[in-house]
Structure 1
């Protein structure tokens, strides 16, 4: 596989995050303009987001890894898949891309560039949901890379599509996307004051998934070999 320099990887991360957020915010605006049924609006928002994730991970994965998510980048840095010195740059690119995505969605629908959200998303159930959502996302990514790397775009897209519906928080599972969504007072928004609880839950869920799956994905043969080598 071709290797890409940091500047190209960062542009891919920023562009991918921007497109993801534009999809989340834009499809939410479109859905609520077409129906007053909240369930139907969420379905439209969900399908668009899941589909866009499949596309973005497929086309940008070979360049940057298609992380689009500071929690995922942190896990990759902790596991050695991403150089630690690049982590900060990835996170900045993702946050910048997320803001650009919100601005783009607002421009497409004739709204002000940025508008702080007033939508309340807080409380133990919401935070626990975000922890579960991010745990599951990281688990799917790690296991997908281990067993069926070519399927990862579909696995992530399908997981997020499902997680929109089985979590009380509608599965943000991404600190950069959560921040970008705090800048839109539309269907997909979140109050800025609610961000710290979401961020803490997302990072905690991601780290917990890494710890569990580092153990879970280690074959018994490997563990036995390591034990034998230690004894000899």
Structure 2
């Protein structure tokens, strides 16, 4: 496949998905990752895509403020697939924690008709479920306007007063070698607090985040009970996680 054909397919894929990584593009184009990286450099110089570490992003998402709405739109199909699996784990009458992650937010559409209680620090989750059958317990504390979430000491004290059947937590990065990682201390603190207060912890993680490491390593793999990801997860990675003792759902 020549550059012009690869260019068209790369731009189309980035526009449709919001973001994509080099490995995915190499598989799609049936070419080497080195070739994909060269193509991305050229496309970025032409202003057709925004180059990210490990892949590319739609220009509009990169130039706009990184709003919560933008984050939820990235890899939307993968996130919805994950959340359908997660919703199947929830029983009527459950009390569940939901954090402020963009993947966790997309769980709302699949639980609207369940008679459950949701404890959350996410303002979008609260707003989305206001007209549903779900009872909502909104965590109190300082509002992070960029993340549209509530964090801080008071928020942690609030969550520590409740016990949940399940917690659904997003993650910025996970690796077998280093465990869980986050882009900020706030999100890491929320995740660990919710995990401590839950009987069972589910990590919702699209496949692009598997075997990646972010700014802050904050917990070992033992913090969660079940990892839910999508069908795009490489077979060898899925096998390695399962062999390491991780309960992983992706089908």
- What is the TM-score when the length of structure 1 is the normalising length? 0.27
- Of structures 1 and 2, the one with the larger relative CO (CA 8 A, separation 6+) is 1
The structure carrying a bigger helix percent of its residues is: 1
- What is the TM-score when the length of structure 2 is the normalising length? 0.26
The structure carrying a bigger strand percent of its residues is: 2
